[in-house]
Structure 1
Amino acid sequence: MTKSELFVLPMVKPDLPPKCNYDTVSKFLTQKEIVCGETLTKSNMSEVLRLVTEQSDVEDSFFVADVREMFNQYEAWVSHLPRIKPHFAIKSNPDPVLISILASLGTGFDCASKAEITQILDMGISPSRIIYAHPCKPSSHLSYAVSRGVDLMTFDNFDELHKMKKLAPNARAVLRISTDDSAALCRFSVKFGAPMGSTYDLLCTAKSLGINVVGVSFHVGSGCQDDCAFDDALQRARTVFDQAESLGFNFNLLDIGGGFPSSKERGGVKFSAIAANINASLDRLFPPHLGINIISEPGRYFSSSAYSLAVNITSKRAVESEESSEPSFMYYVNDGVYGSFNCIMFDHQIVYPEILTNNGEYVYDSASSKDPSQTGYKTSIWGPTCDSLDCVVPQTTLPELYLGDWLLFQNMGAYTKCAASKFNGFDLSAVYYYDSQQSRSS
């Protein structure tokens, strides 16, 4: 399969499980321990973790990523939401391996900047598969998008309409509306989305400017905790569709945004429950016979569960307590909230440690490592910088660990490495890839 052929495949049907194209994926892999020839080794996560952590000269934190999980998430999507074509929000994780796999499956992409558009186009993906999903775009970025053939883009205010009239007169515009996102971890309607009281006037202005508005978009918030949140948003979208019809617009696009949970989310709503409610509302408000093209902008849904982060205990402090004869422990690890754990500060995530090694012995495959809170000492885990805000886990229970031991944090692919800094001179964590399907079938 050539590069040009790779990125024009249609969406895979639910009864046709996607296949991993190793020639495509392996070109991004640099870890010689994981790659044999032009394919990934037949490894599961534990084997990769053991392989890396047992190297005597390895101390830096690192990610492990299961490419099969990326395919699994896509299969689950087309099974539960067959009417909706996902446009991956690459802001959540711009890893070229993940993007390459999703592109091979036929997804679109949600880009919000010049750099994100450039990354997708430079990978050979057609601009027709991009939605420029930023309602308030810098003029230079908007002009760049137009020059590269990206014409589907969102707006939510009058000034943006006039900007588009000047710089992107032939755009296919999508009106982003506000939602009730009070149940989301990250609320977006405080910043973006036209209030419902302004949508009719915005459409009138677009009509007078000759701008081709083709549909409606919304976002119920990142990390949505309400499986019914989409119901109200879809009803609002239906209202705007009716307003547009009264003004002579012919809307053919509905973008339901993101907010879908990872498959490894602890607690909260399940993807299957959200999908069931969305399907019921779509069938009622936008039935299939209307021929509306329905897309979405999932980020963490595709990016989070495939990636796990391993960190090394570089320092340790025993803390005596007046309330107990047993000590508590502070462990200092080599990634923190200024690095991959920035998701704690900016994405409101709670992370859960699992033990990889204890006193130098690899114990991840033992039952106790999966649920270490059953026994042990009061523990806190801290990042490597000199800032006291750099706390990864304020309080948990772990058995006593030692310098050089390793901890693992799963579900760490979304809004982690992509937003990490090098504050205090600490480097970003590398990524090692494996294919769990290869291991099961070998």
Structure 2
Amino acid sequence: MPSLVSGEIQAKDAAESLSLNPIFSASGVKGKRVTALTKECDMSHLIESIIADKPDMDSSFSVLDLGVVMELMDKWVTKFPTVQPFYAVKCNPDISLIGALAALGSSFDCASKAEIQIVLSLGISPDRIVYANPCKSESDIKYAATVGVNLATYDSVYEVDKVQKWHPKCELLLRIKYDSEGALASLGVKYGALPEEVPELLKAAEAAGVNVTGVSFHIGSGGADPLALSGAIEAAKSVFEMASHFGMSRMSILDIGGGFTCGPELDVAATKVKAAILAHFGDHQGLVVIAEPGRYFTETAFTLVSRVIGKRVRGELREYWINDGVYGSISNIIYDHATIRCAPLRQKNLTCVDAKTYPTTVFGPTCDCIDIVLKDYQLPELQVNDWLVFPNMGAYTISSGTNFNGFTSAVKHVYLACSEQS
């Protein structure tokens, strides 16, 4: 299995062909083994080698494909050449991912002190962080002030009071509500100023001597209609104009939020964003446009691997227990409305070689009856100690796992790989 270790290059030709340089020396990646994936040595071969190296492994694990991350960044730059990505750390706080994204030019959306600490621990400048949580504790605002995180969001007069008291140098983005009807997670339920609240919020910041430097919104996550971006940008423009009418300092930042996916919807979103910015901000000199993509960079970059720890047969029905579940790395079923899929890892020493499939239920390890990973899913016959492979498991997985029931069921190990991209 060709591997690459920073400072100790193995499989030199693979390294050159994958153009690993910007990521390879990044904080969070440097010094770690990165396996080059090729047609001859694919993801299955890597997983097999990991299992063979640690046959007694009793926890699930993930593989992060840095090649996918690089390709996604290239695609973002192509589709959104004037929009700076601020990766939403909440989606997946893996340090190798964050370090790689930083090396590729991303900045970061942090929602808590802990997320800020993760980013800063990698040597990333606080100037590359937006504290994108409209409601922050006073202690966390004080922390942001001490480390130099000077850009944050707000949507209430009470937040202005806290910022004025504990971090008056912080510049604010006024978060407005603009939801897409198709979004599975409509963030406007919790955040975002209503149109009639905007004047008071602008005046409150002006009276407190806190600079409002721009506007942010988030149309929602998971199936959000990219067409909503046009309306949200138009709404943001009205806030810019209102601030100017009030004689406030000229706004310069437009934060178009997240909700982006790497599918065909990205093309639609890019088209809508470009057209709306041209229509509503075409004459706004010096405008800085940022976004907060999360799942876009993570969902397809991670593969989860989990072991079968139990089995039951009831007629044609096959029931299996695995060592991860909805309280662990597969929490995206609960918190992100994810539809997942899996396939057995076919190894020479595994028994799942029968072409016949059976209606199957896959349970997580806890004793809670909602800990069901898959139901009425077709799988071949499996045995205890076989492994299941779950692709596209990077978004809201390890970030929302728990230790419920005494099971440390979330991923403990993330292995790095780099595939060849077209």
Same fold (TM over 0.5): yes
- Per the alignment, residue 305 of structure 1 pairs with 300
- Per the alignment, residue 418 of structure 2 pairs with 435
Where in structure 2 are the equivalents of 1:142-157 lying within 5 Å? Answer: 142-157=141-156
**Does 1:259 pair with 2:259?**
yes
1:27 CA displacement: 5.2
- Alpha carbons of 1:171 and 1:59: their partners in 2 closer, same or farther (altered >3 Å)? closer
**Does 1:24 pair with 2:19?**
no
2:414 is aligned with what amino acid? V
Contact 2:363-2:371 at 8 Å conserved across structures: yes
Q: Provide the C-alpha distance between the structure 2 equivalents of 1:19 and 1:224, rounded to a whole number of angstroms.
A: 34
* CA shift digits 1:375-432 (9 cap, x unpaired): 6221111101111110001221122222222111111111111211122333332211
Contact 1:360-1:404 at 8 Å conserved across structures: no
Contact 1:357-1:407 at 8 Å conserved across structures: no
- Per the alignment, residue 293 of structure 1 pairs with 288
- Alpha carbons of 1:303 and 1:81: their partners in 2 closer, same or farther (altered >3 Å)? same
- Per the alignment, residue 157 of structure 2 pairs with 158
Contact 2:179-2:187 at 8 Å conserved across structures: no
Q: Provide the C-alpha distance between the structure 1 equivalents of 2:175 and 2:76, rounded to a whole number of angstroms.
A: 23
Helix, strand or coil at the partner of 1:116: helix
**Does 1:283 pair with 2:286?**
no
Contact 2:352-2:382 at 8 Å conserved across structures: no
* CA shift digits 1:170-204 (9 cap, x unpaired): 22111000012331111110101000111012112
* CA shift digits 1:213-236 (9 cap, x unpaired): 110000111213312121111111
- Alpha carbons of 1:59 and 1:29: their partners in 2 closer, same or farther (altered >3 Å)? farther
What percentage of aligned pairs have identical amino acids?
39
Where in structure 2 are the equivalents of 1:41-440 lying within 5 Å? Answer: 41=36, 43-55=41-53, 56-249=55-248, 250-263=250-263, 270-287=265-282, 290-320=285-315, 327-357=316-346, 360-361=349-350, 376-427=357-408, 428-429=410-411, 430-437=413-420
Contact 2:26-2:103 at 8 Å conserved across structures: no
1:24 is aligned with what amino acid? A
Aligned positions, number: 397
Deviating beyond 6 angstroms after TM superposition, the runs of 4 or more aligned structure 1 residues are none
- Per the alignment, residue 5 of structure 2 pairs with none
Q: Provide the C-alpha distance between the structure 2 equivalents of 1:248 and 1:285, rounded to a whole number of angstroms.
A: 20
- Alpha carbons of 1:421 and 1:431: their partners in 2 closer, same or farther (altered >3 Å)? same
Contact 2:352-2:381 at 8 Å conserved across structures: no
TM-score, normalised with respect to structure 1: 0.84
Helix, strand or coil at the partner of 1:87: strand
CA RMSD in angstroms, aligned pairs only: 2.3
TM-score, normalised with respect to structure 2: 0.88
1:287 CA displacement: 2.0
1:135 CA displacement: 0.6
1:72 CA displacement: 0.9
Q: Which moved more, 1:195-204 or 1:42-51?
A: 42-51
- Alpha carbons of 1:220 and 1:29: their partners in 2 closer, same or farther (altered >3 Å)? farther
Helix, strand or coil at the partner of 1:349: coil
Helix, strand or coil at the partner of 2:415: strand
Helix, strand or coil at the partner of 1:434: strand
Contact 1:110-1:130 at 8 Å conserved across structures: yes
1:40 CA displacement: 4.1
Return 5+ residue gaps in structure 2 as ranges: 1-18
Contact 2:66-2:301 at 8 Å conserved across structures: yes
* CA shift digits 1:148-175 (9 cap, x unpaired): 1111111101111111111121221110
Q: Provide the C-alpha distance between the structure 2 equivalents of 1:18 and 1:213, rounded to a whole number of angstroms.
A: 40
- Alpha carbons of 1:348 and 1:191: their partners in 2 closer, same or farther (altered >3 Å)? same
Q: Provide the C-alpha distance between the structure 1 equivalents of 2:106 and 2:351, rounded to a whole number of angstroms.
A: 39
Contact 2:28-2:99 at 8 Å conserved across structures: no
* CA shift digits 1:277-312 (9 cap, x unpaired): 222212211227632100011111112111010111
Helix, strand or coil at the partner of 1:413: coil
* CA shift digits 1:119-152 (9 cap, x unpaired): 2122111111110111111000001101111111
Helix, strand or coil at the partner of 2:321: strand
Return 5+ residue gaps in structure 1 as ranges: 1-16, 264-268, 321-326
Q: Provide the C-alpha distance between the structure 2 equivalents of 1:404 and 1:153, rounded to a whole number of angstroms.
A: 48
Helix, strand or coil at the partner of 1:385: coil
